[in-house]
Amino acid sequence: MNMKKILTWAGVAFLLYFLFAAPAQASGVVNGILDSLKGAAEAVITFMQNLFT
């Protein structure tokens, strides 16, 4: 097996463990990531609106 495949499976296993061991904290992490993505998307939209007005 190559290293990339091993690290990918290790990451998936860690995420599943984290999800089942601490679901409240896992949902907080996911919400934080989604909020960050939402903020970035809103910033891009604002930039594009200002660019073309």
Quote the DSSP letter at residue 52.
-
6: pLDDT strictly greater than 70? yes
CB 26 within 8 A of CB 18: yes
Distance in angstroms (rounded) separating the CA atoms of residues 10 and 13? 5
Model-level pTM greater than 0.85?
no
Q: pLDDT value at position 15?
A: 87
Q: What are the pLDDT digits (tens) for 11-51?
A: 999 989 988 999 899 889 889 999 999 999 999 999 999 99
